[in-house]
Copies of this chain bind each other. A is one copy, B any other.
Amino acid sequence: MQSDAAQLFYELYDLYARYTEALDDGPLERWPEFFTEQCMYQIIPRDNYDQNLPVAIMRCESRAMIEDRVTAVNETMMYEPRYLRHHTTDIRIEDPIGSKVKVRANFSVIEVLPDELPRILIAGRYLDRLERSGEVGWRFKEKLCVFDSVLVPNSIVFPV
Contacts and interface: CB of A to CB of B under 8 A. Distances in A.
Interface of A: 2-3, 5-7, 9-10, 13-14, 16-18, 20-21, 24-25, 46, 83-93, 104-106, 108, 110, 112, 114-125, 148-151, 153
A150 B115 contact: yes
A117 B6 contact: no
Contacts of A125: 24-25, 85
Given A90-B16, A104-B21, A118 B112 contact: no
A118 B123 contact: yes
A3 B7 CA distance: 6
A151 B115 contact: yes
A112 to B, nearest CB: 4
Contacts of A3: 3, 6-7
A86 to B, nearest CB: 6
Contact of A118 (B21, B24, B104, B148): B148
Contacts of A110: 108, 120, 123, 148
A91 B17 contact: yes
Contacts of A5: 7, 10
Nearest to A150: B114
A90 B20 contact: yes
A120 to B, nearest CB: 4
Given A3-B7, A5-B10, A18-B92, A87 B112 contact: no
